[in-house]
């Protein structure tokens, strides 16, 4: 499976968001925007999809919605031009609805899972698992997400450490679903990214390692290696 590196951006306002996207956009295809509501996670970020409407970056944007009841807001993000929605299994009582909305509106959808949540919480959604194709292709099952995003620590902040027990979770998922796109988010650097890929991940979401670097291009290259 091809490995993809996706820079993660935490921004307090739209100006900050645009500045950070500009830094990374020459080097990647996708950018991951972290969206926090101060409720599902104890932190706030920029959270105004309507501001994206007249903005046209040279990359595809995915929104990592760390917000409660994503089913209420997902349409606003799609309307704003987001091409992949990632929502948390812990944040909604109706994950199928979120996936259905995304599928009907022809955007990709990923389901994120926190370290404390048992993996079987998402099993129902990926039970057609082997049929889950990589990005850009239509999933076969009606509610099959395009990807699973394994959180390597409790979300809410950038710069946290990668919890090593995450590797077992990735291995388990890869064993169950050989063709599933598996992403990892939090604490990614060349060392942890290598471990995650060896365990079976094929998407690496990295925030501070890339954005805090003096040479963003070089940092992305290091991760790719």
Structure tokens belonging to residue 106? 């022809």
Q: CB under 5 to 8 A by kind: which of Zn ion, ligand DX5, none does 208 bind?
A: ligand DX5
Residue whose C-alpha is closest to residue 63's, from 122, 4, 27, 11: 11
Q: Does 183 bind ligand DX5 (CB under 6 A)?
A: no
d(C-alpha 211, C-alpha 20), whole Å: 8
Inter-CA distances, 41 with 88, 177, 184, Å = 11, 29, 18
Q: Does 187 bind ligand DX5 (CB under 6 A)?
A: yes
For Zn ion, which residue of 21, 24, 31, 34 counts as binding (CB under 5 A)? 34
Q: Which is nearer to Zn ion, 31 or 180 (CB)?
A: 31
Which regions of the chain does DSSP assign to beta strands (E)? 4-9, 30-36, 60-66, 84-88, 108-113, 147-151, 181-185, 203-206
Q: Does 186 bind ligand DX5 (CB under 6 A)?
A: yes
- Contact mark string toward ligand DX5, 2..21, x via CB under 6 A: ------x-x-----------
Structure tokens belonging to residue 160? 């946290």
d(C-alpha 109, C-alpha 84), whole Å: 5
Q: Does 156 bind ligand DX5 (CB under 6 A)?
A: yes
For ligand DX5, which residue of 95, 145, 158, 183 counts as binding (CB under 6 A)? 158
Residues with a catalytic annotation lie at 34, 185
Q: Which stretch binds ligand DX5 (CB under 6 A): 87-95, 127-135, 156-164, 171-179?
A: 156-164
Beta carbon of residue 178, minimum distance to ligand DX5 (angstroms, whole number): 26
Q: Does 155 bind ligand DX5 (CB under 6 A)?
A: yes
List helix spans (H) across the chain: 14-24, 74-79, 95-104, 166-176, 190-199, 208-211, 216-224
Q: Does 110 bind ligand DX5 (CB under 6 A)?
A: no
For Zn ion, which residue of 20, 24, 64, 95 counts as binding (CB under 5 A)? 64
Angle at the Cα of 8 from the Cα atoms of 23 and 1, rounded to 5 degrees:
105
Residue 33 β-bridge partners: 9, 63
Q: Does 185 bind ligand DX5 (CB under 6 A)?
A: yes
Binding site for Zn ion (CB under 5 A): 8, 34, 64, 185
């Amino acid at each position: 499976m091809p490995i993809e590196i996706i820079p993660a951006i935490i921004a307090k306002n739209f100006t900050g968001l645009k500045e950070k996207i500009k830094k990374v956009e020459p080097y990647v295809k996708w950018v991951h925007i972290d969206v926090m509501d101060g409720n599902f996670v104890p932190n706030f970020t920029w959270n105004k999809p309507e501001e994206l409407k007249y903005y046209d970056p040279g990359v595809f944007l995915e929104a990592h919605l760390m917000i409660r009841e994503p089913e209420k807001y997902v349409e606003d993000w799609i309307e704003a031009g987001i091409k992949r929605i990632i929502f948390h299994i812990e944040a909604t009582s109706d994950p199928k609805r979120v996936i259905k909305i995304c599928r009907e509106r022809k955007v990709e959808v990923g389901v994120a899972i926190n370290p404390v949540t048992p993996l079987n919480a998402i099993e129902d959604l990926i039970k057609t698992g082997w049929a889950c194709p990589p990005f850009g292709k239509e999933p076969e099952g009606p509610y099959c997400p395009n990807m699973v995003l394994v959180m390597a620590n409790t979300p809410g902040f950038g710069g946290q450490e990668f919890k090593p027990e995450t590797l077992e979770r990735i291995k388990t998922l890869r064993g169950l679903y050989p063709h599933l796109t598996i992403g990892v988010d939090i604490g990614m650097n060349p060392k942890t990214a290598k471990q995650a890929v060896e365990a079976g991940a094929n998407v690496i979401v990295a925030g501070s390692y890339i954005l805090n670097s003096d040479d963003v291009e070089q940092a992305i290259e290091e991760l790719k290696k």
